[in-house]
Chain A
Amino acid sequence: MSFRRYFQIPYQPVAVKILKEHVKATEENLRFCEAVRRAAGGERIVLDEINLICSGALVSLGFVRGVFSEDSEETKAVIVEPYKGQECDVVLIIATPDRVMKIASFYSQLFGEELRAEFSGENAVCGEATARVKKEGKPNVSFLCEGAREYAGYKREEVVIGFPYETFRRMEEAIKKEEIKSMCGCLMDDLPRDVVEKFESMGFDKATDHFFGFYNGKTVKVYIFRDTNALGLYTSVKFKSEEEAEKAVEKYKGDYVLLKRENWVDVSKILDVDVISEIRKGKFEELLNSELEKIVREAKKLKSL
């Protein structure tokens, strides 16, 4: 599946190639942003110093040097055409904010970093989404400039994202290989992300409704109560028979709550702490480890009864 189809973008991605040699230009005077918009509709346009009629774009794209710019003026032509997998410098996407949101989520999952938007509202498609992206090797979201909105026909709700070619190619590859997957779409709880990450960093895995992991060779489970954020700690002891389990429960003298269920005895304790706030205060790990130590010890004691 292509990038365009995956994100359901109405326009085609646009490949921009900046050349240091002369190529015959299109016989029409255009702004760069205008050329990009037309390329998104399927046209191939070549711009040079003569038919590119926006002075800002001439500077941004390196045709001419700005008054205070240190960049050299090496560009002789720019090819702007629909992206079909060809090598280029930058790939531009015209999209609405809701599409950018999805692209950003995909990008951050794939590359482990956020998609940035650095923009000034000037020299936008040419500068912010193309020249800067080529130079810095990072994608950027531009909210366009007056010229683009006024003369090139971009709609009020449209923005442009520029991707370095390699980044875009990698995203297309990830889409084809289905590397980024959304599962069934059912959110089973609304635990904050930092809380889930904290448990994961401590070696716990997230199950549907709770966390589980190992402590001193024993499986332990942790459940956060919805209403109070209190912490439930659980482990289980398996006996050979229901009778053995029953006897062990009768002999037990500790403070933990025991629940015999067939030949299993669940050992549990509810800690009256607000897990979410404890995690955010940074004192949680020590507390949890100490409680796990105790519950595992208690379970082993129960097993030996």
Chain B
Amino acid sequence: MNLDRYSPQNLRRPSSGMINVHPIQRGGILTEEARQVILEWADGYSVCDLCLEGRVDLVKNPPIAEFKRDVAEFLNMDEVRFTAGARHAKFVIMSAFKEKTIVVDSLAHYTSYIAAELNDMKVYEVPNSGYPEFKIEPEKYAETFERVKEETGKYPDLALLTHVDYRYGNLADAKEVGKICREYGIPLILNTAYSSGVMEVDGKKLNADFIVASGHKSWAATAPIGILATNYDFVDDVFRTSKTRGEWSGRAFTKKEVALFGCSPVYGLPIITLMASFPAVVRRIKKWEEEVAKARWFVKEMEKIEGVQLIGERPKNHTLMQFESPAFHSIAKRHKKRGFFLYHELKKRGIVGVQPGMTKNFKINVYGLSWEEVEKVAEAFKDIAESYGLEVED
């Protein structure tokens, strides 16, 4: 065993000092405030020093119990728990709908499907519009509900909408989907892994019964942390507490929430950084329009490169975008580094985050980059294109 590989020198981050445009990274970049508290709270279960109630969401010092209420207010929901990620939050909700039927959008994250599978749910999909926009039209939810009724004899028990999908960065019309779900009486999970924390998400306005969020993707927190917000209607089912009693010892754990495994595993840096970044998150969502403006500008610049075209909805309403680039792919076919050439060329220019090997189409997120940085990224792509003989408009 070579233990040297774990020395601090060998654990330096390769992307250190570079602009990272990886779609999952931008909203998770820590705030200065979060960085300030990291070392102090870095030890294992650091927030559990004064846990009197046996659950992380009830800890009063640091003020997690109050934070829980603040997050609920911020999302305009009634009750909040912290989870090991948005995926865990979805699993927790679905565990209250075991073996029932769920309708999900066909752009949903794979963890939506897996959470359903883990709870033995039957999954139906809402079709998307296909190439080139891949949009989820709200009325398709109603059509899918009717299809489920035709096939199973009753309407589905639960619906899920991915507010912003991870493939094209399309912003779905959550309000309209929520309205349809209300009309049918079907509770709606809104997966906001790429929206809440960077843009305004108001659960009541959007008619969401559940909101799941990702702290590490969009709330400037260290992984792994997610948020599960719901309304009082569902609290008893989703946050049901343990009823088990040891048959010999008589031990019982009646305060522990079953689907959260008693106490959610966010007992150290994840919850602390989520809290420390929260004031900045509350402020930053008000600047969302400018972030979208940067993304739209970036699209225009990228499309000056021969053969590069945005896929997904236009104009962009989110900072996560996917480009199709047959011209870059043609270069990759004859380049000795094959599809990795683009990754290497970008890295030379101080940019990481485009998936190595991807040239046909690639995803980028420019959230939180300064205008100068967005320009730098666009210039890097144009420079690479020109150096390989592709035409770039002035």
Q: Of A205, A209, A262, which contacts B326 at CB under 8 A?
A: A205
Within 8 A of B (CB), among A259-273: 261-262, 264, 266
Which residues of B in the span 121-163 have a Cβ within 8 Å of any Cβ on A?
127, 130-132, 134
The count of A-to-B residue pairs whose CB atoms sit within 8 angstroms is 47
Answer yes or no: A60 CB below 8 A from chain B CBs.
no
Residues of A within 8 A of B110 (CB): 186
**Chain B residues, CB < 8 A from A266:** 132
Partner among A221, A223, A262 whose Cβ is within 8 Å of the Cβ of B314: A262
Indicate if the CB atoms of B127 and A207 lie closer than 8 Å: no
Query: Given the complex, which residues of A lie within 8 Å of B131, measured CB to CB?
Result: 209-210, 221, 223, 232, 234
Q: Closest residue to B359 on the A side, CB-wise?
A: A205
- Residue B309, interface by CB 8 Å: yes
Instruction: Answer yes or no: B240 CB below 8 A from chain A CBs.
Output: no
Asked whether A201 is an interface residue with its Cβ less than 8 Å from the other chain, the reply is no
Indicate whether A151 reaches chain B with its CB closer than 8 angstroms: no
* Distance, CA A232 to CA B326, complexed state (A): 18
**Cβ contacts A197-233/B at 8 Å (1 or 0 each):** 0000000011111101110000101010111000010
Residues of B within 8 A of A227 (CB): 127
Q: Is B307 an interface residue (CB 8 A)?
A: yes
Query: Which chain A residues lie closer than 8 Å to B167 at the CB level?
Result: 208
Q: Judge if B360 is at the interface, Cβ distance under 8 Å.
A: yes
Measured CA separation A276–B18 after assembly (Å):
46
- Does A238 count as interface, using CB distance less than 8 angstroms? yes
Contacts of B329 in A (CB 8 A): 205
- Whether A225 contacts B361 by the Cβ 8 Å rule is no
Q: Number of A residues whose C-beta is below 8 Å from B?
A: 24
Residues of A within 8 A of B127 (CB): 226-227
Indicate if the CB atoms of A209 and B134 lie closer than 8 Å: yes
> B324 contacts the other chain (Cβ, under 8 Å)?
yes
**Any B CB within 8 A of the CB of A236:** yes
CB pair B361 A208 closer than 8 Å: yes
A238 touching B130 by the CB < 8 A rule?
A: no
Residue among B132, B134, B309, B326 with max Cβ neighbours from chain A (10 Å): B132
Q: Is the CB of B309 within 8 A of A236?
A: yes
B99 contacts partner chain A, Cβ-Cβ < 8 Å? no
Which residues of the other chain, B, contact A236 by a CB distance below 8 angstroms? 132, 309
B225 CB to closest chain A CB (Å) equals: 23
Q: Decide if B303 is an interface residue (CB 8 Å cutoff).
A: yes
* Any A CB within 8 A of the CB of B315: yes
Contact A212 B324 (CB under 8 A): yes
Residue numbers in A under 8 Å from B315 (CB-CB): 261-262
A128 to chain B, nearest CB (A): 40
Known: A186-B110, A207-B360, A236-B309. A225 touches B130 (CB 8 A): yes
Whether A214 pairs with B326 at a CB distance below 8 angstroms is yes
A223 to chain B: which residues have CB within 8 Å? 130-131
Q: 22 A–B contact pairs at CB < 8 A?
A: A186-B110, A205-B326, A205-B329, A206-B360, A207-B360, A207-B361, A209-B130, A209-B131, A209-B134, A212-B324, A212-B360, A219-B307, A221-B131, A226-B130, A232-B130, A234-B131, A234-B132, A236-B132, A261-B315, A262-B314, A262-B315, A264-B309
Among all A-B residue pairs, the 6 with the closest Cβ atoms:
A223-B131, A261-B314, A210-B131, A219-B326, A262-B314, A207-B361
Interface residues of B (CB under 8 A from A): 110, 127, 130-132, 134, 167, 303, 307, 309, 314-315, 324, 326, 329, 360-361
Contacts A209-B130, A262-B314 given; 18 further ones with Cβ under 8 A?
A207-B361, A208-B167, A208-B361, A209-B131, A210-B130, A212-B360, A214-B326, A219-B309, A221-B132, A221-B324, A223-B130, A226-B130, A232-B131, A234-B132, A236-B132, A236-B309, A261-B314, A264-B314
